[in-house]
Structure 1
């Protein structure tokens, strides 16, 4: 071939055609591979850089598979925890069922003692009390000097008080008036009819009773109402209210004596001896009002001061007042004390309230009149009692000793039996007395603490108003004797981890215990409860939670200290007695519980993926980059029953009472808390792994994109190049044909 000689133009065209063919081959390779850098010869820098990026992307892609497996391992562990939580809830349900089951003991451990009279409202019971004596202030008699000590015979009333008029003469002469002087009318009367000071309907008020003047004829006995009687020209109702009948003629038929008698009947200075009888009898120690030698003397009773209010003209007619006119005026006559009476006289209507019983002081003596209420009886003439502690003392004859007797009847120190209107007094207690210095030594009795209040002046007159003389009540406490538990203290040591208790019995204030509810409130903190029955049997027992424990034992504690009464203490606590039926039911629940624990063990063992079990103690290690410098180690846990702090229950030991059951519930609650905590940790780790998983995916994409950017060809550009090269190649072939035409022309010449 070397001997062939080509022309310069042919050779030039041939070289151009070869170059175009080479370029076309290169373009077609780029179009075929899509890369403009296929070998290191194409672009060494881009080729090796892209290869490094592809290698890293490949390495990370390999690690991504491990990350994906790690996600599944975490999800398998989370699924296991969810199942374990449900199993724990089932175990809790069984434990709660045990709590609702009948207590496993027919009799719980207890101690008891009998407190006579104890009730749920007052555990202190019946207290035996001894009599106490309370002293009054010194009480004096009315003797001159005011310093003579009172004695039992000193009377409650006193010498009657008097008020005397000026001398009065009749209208027609200088003759002084007397009891028989007519009130008005003919010569010798008190006043003339025309100037009469006594008119129909005039009234006088005497110590709360009413005296009425009537210008009318005296009624006959047949015309009287029940209880009324006739005394001279007076009609009286037996209660101190009297009507004076003046008659209907020009001359009064009523005398000065009739008027003063009406005043005496109202004041109590006189009384009617019997119903429908006209005989007047002076009251005990009293003196009737009288008119002699022109002077009218009005007297009070010995039991009440006289207070008379009436029309001034009527009283002025007797010269009892200097006032005149139709208006009212008041006259008084005050009793006088003596050595035989008290220095302070008790006023009519005063009362003493002694332990809820009433002692009433009255002026008129119903006992002397024989007017004794049905069911009551007279004692010592001046005291009427109803046999239940309520008494009436009559001031006209009553003595200080009568007051002491009435107080003793009210406190129960003395008792009264009633028969035929007469009271027989017995003294089962310590009677009240009077000290030599005049102090009243009042017995409290044993029925109740002594409490005396009063109305009127009874308290002060008897020295019962305290040291300052201003007290409104007199009180004294009995002496507390054997029986009852007020002030007693019981001590309980800690029972099954409870709070030790000191219980002091009292009135329920300042931390003391009175009621059953208050006692249980204090015992509750020490897992104990109390009951009391109708016989006063106080029983302290364990609560259901610790029904299997023996009160006061070395293991459980709760020993009781203190003697609650002087004659009895608590019984020795006996062990609880099991209920076979209830214990069988609780044993069945133990079996169900243990089955749950077996399922917990198998569930934790099955919670694996690809041979890794984070609930069985395995460790998961994840590598996140190609150099191994970024890793995450997730340590597994052992979540079988033992790992969760649970163990198989023993029949007859566990679930036997609420306390044992609550211990199991506490373990289950702890296991639930552990599972929740681990679930939270797994969730946090899963979140980290998923973030790295997404990061690795995105990084691989970045690396592969960077590699492609370095090596990929622009297909549009390469297609245009291919088209241009094809055109060039066609032109080169035509040019080569033209270049060969000169040689063909020579060939034609040779032919």
Structure 2
């Protein structure tokens, strides 16, 4: 036998109203607690999945920002390397100019009078270039000087006030190939070690009457120049960031690839350049077969200065290229940050709750619940009257 509780229509209506209020209160409290008005696909499938898609893209772009940031730092490291190499190039120019301004001279007067009875060949070098003057037997001192100057290509030989001794006064390095060439002109045979002025020529020790100046100074400046080239190469190889070096290797394998979107359909490839001393076509100053080593010749120093000027132009062009690339990468970095903000805002607009509205709803529902309870109490007054009769 079934039994149940009979409620009046007004009581049932008030109970339903309280249940609806409780349900709304629960929803409002959940929104206040989570800050979301759409927390699952059940709340709003369109908004939920659209917001999820926007959030996923935002996360993908956020992951690319780290790669873009590393790219920016790699370019800045290369640019810093170029700036420092340029300073070393300027130092190399200063060294070469100093060598160019250092005058080389060879001076001296023979200790004995010229005796051309036997005659013979005088073999000597001017700044490493081989020269040979043939002095005929029984030649006078004037004949000998004429032959020597003709071979030298300039008037570097003369005679002293007595007219008997040969004088050498040259704005260059003059070395003799053999002792006989020295003594034939009246100079004493040299003793000790033969000069080493960066040439591959076979020479003998200078006569004691001859004084050479400037050559050793130029040699030391050439060594200083070579040291600067070594520093240029080492600096270029050290200008790396996170294993990426854009100025130490110019082949096709040395590229920096930066992706700007999650599908890599927007990207930038930055080609590395060889800015070492070899890449800049700067050669060390070494001993040459024609006396061109150790800054011995002004023409070779001028050629070196020309190469240094070309190296400077190369560095400036590289700096301009990297600067342009850096501007592009930084612009895309800023764009990606702003786009991430747009995507996150769009996702939030679809799913986030307005806490001000929900707080107001909570207060309104609380009031409604109180009113519903009062209404339920009024609806039960009729039954309470019956209870009074039973008492």
Q: Which position in structure 1 is the counterpart of 2:248?
A: 616
Output the CA distance in 1 between the equivalents of 2:3 and 2:19: 19
2:21 aligned residue: 20
Normalised TM-score (structure 1): 0.37
CA 57–619 in structure 1, closer or farther in 2 if over 3 Å, else same: same
**Matching residue within 274, 278, 285 for 1:649:** 285
- Equivalenced residues, count: 302
Q: Deviations over 1:571-593 (max 9, x none)?
A: xxxx9999754221111112211
Change in 2 beyond 3 A, CA 1:18/1:594:
same
2:43 matched residue in structure 1: 42
Q: Is 2:220 the partner of 1:588?
A: yes
Please give the per-residue CA displacement for 1:401-437, whole angstroms capped at 9, x wherever unaligned. xxxxxxxxxxxxxxxxxxxxxxxxxxxxxxxxxxxxx
2:233 match: 601
Q: 1:600 to 1:102 in 2, by over 3 A?
A: same
Counterparts in 2 of 1:422-437, with a 5 A limit?
Answer: none
What SS class does the counterpart of residue 102 from structure 1 fall into?
coil
What's the TM-score, normalizing by structure 2? 0.69
Q: Secondary structure at the match of 1:713?
A: coil
Moved more, 661-670 or 605-614: 661-670
Deviation at 1:44, TM superposition (A): 1.4
Distance 1:586 1:707 in 2: 73
- Is the 8 Å Cα contact of residues 27 and 722 (structure 1) preserved in structure 2? yes
**Separation in 2 of the partners of 1:530 and 1:707?**
92
* Contact 1:103/1:657 (8 A) holds in 2: no
Instruction: State whether structure 2 residue 264 is matched by structure 1 residue 628.
Output: yes
Judged with a 3 Å threshold, the aligned counterparts in structure 2 of structure 1 residues 673 and 743 are, in CA distance, closer, same or farther, namely: same
Query: Please, which runs of 5 or more residues in structure 1 have no aligned partner?
Result: 113-527, 535-542, 551-574
Q: Is the 8 A contact 2:104 2:173 kept in 1?
A: no
CA 1:55–1:615 in 2, change beyond 3 Å: closer, same or farther? Answer: same
Contact between 2:173 and 2:215, CA under 8 Å: does it hold in 1? no
Give the unaligned 5+ runs of structure 2.
108-125, 134-152, 160-169, 176-201
Aligned to 1:632, what secondary structure does the other structure show?
strand
Work out the CA distance in 2 between the residues paired with 1:632 and 1:718: 47
The answer to whether the aligner puts 1:688 opposite 2:323 as a matched pair is no
Give deviations 1:452-501, integer Å, cap 9, x for gaps: xxxxxxxxxxxxxxxxxxxxxxxxxxxxxxxxxxxxxxxxxxxxxxxxxx
Q: Structure 1 residue 627: deviation in Å? A: 1.1
Could you tell me how far 1:663 is from its partner in structure 2?
2.0
Partner of 2:345: 705
Shift of 1:709: 2.4
Residues 353-404 of structure 1 deviation map (CA, whole Å, 9 limit, x = unaligned): xxxxxxxxxxxxxxxxxxxxxxxxxxxxxxxxxxxxxxxxxxxxxxxxxxxx
In 2, the alpha carbon distance for the partners of 1:111 and 1:662 equals: 28
User: Structure 1 stretches (4+) deviating beyond 4 angstroms?
Assistant: 104-112, 528-534, 547-550, 575-580
For 1:579 and 1:50, the matched residues in 2 are separated by 90
Residue 714 (1) aligns with residue 354 (2): yes
- The answer to whether 1:65 aligns with 2:66 is yes
For residues 83 and 597 of structure 1, the distance between their equivalents in structure 2, rounded to whole angstroms, comes to 13
Q: Distance in 2 between matches of 1:105 and 1:665?
A: 25
Q: Distance in 1 between matches of 2:385 and 2:154?
A: 140
User: Is the radius of gyration larger for structure 1 or structure 2?
Assistant: 1
C-alpha contact 1:590 1:654 (8 A) present in aligned 2: yes
Q: Identify the structure with the greater strand proportion.
A: 1
Deviations 1:592-631 (A, max 9, x none): 1122122112211111111111112232110001111011
Distance 1:78 1:549 in 2: 47
Whole-Å Cα distance in 2 between the matches of residues 734 and 663 of structure 1? 106
Match of 2:299 in 1: 659
Taking CA–CA contacts closer than 8 Å with sequence separation of 6 or more, which of the two structures ends up with the larger relative contact order? Answer: 2
Query: Is residue 105–residue 582 contact of structure 1 (8 Å, CA) maintained in 2?
Result: no
Residue pair 2:244, 2:256 contacting (<8 A) in 1 also: yes
Q: Secondary structure at the match of 2:51?
A: helix
The answer to whether the 8 A contact 2:106-2:213 is kept is: no
Residues 605, 613 of structure 1: 8 Å contact kept? yes
1:724 and 2:364 correspond: yes
| Paired residues of 2:280 and 2:311 also in contact (CA < 8 A) | yes
Residues 249-273 of structure 1 deviation map (CA, whole Å, 9 limit, x = unaligned): xxxxxxxxxxxxxxxxxxxxxxxxx
Report the CA distance shift for 1:105/1:677 in structure 2 as closer, same or farther (over 3 A): farther
Cα distance 1:587–1:657, how it changes in 2: closer, same or farther (>3 A)? same
Higher helix share: 2
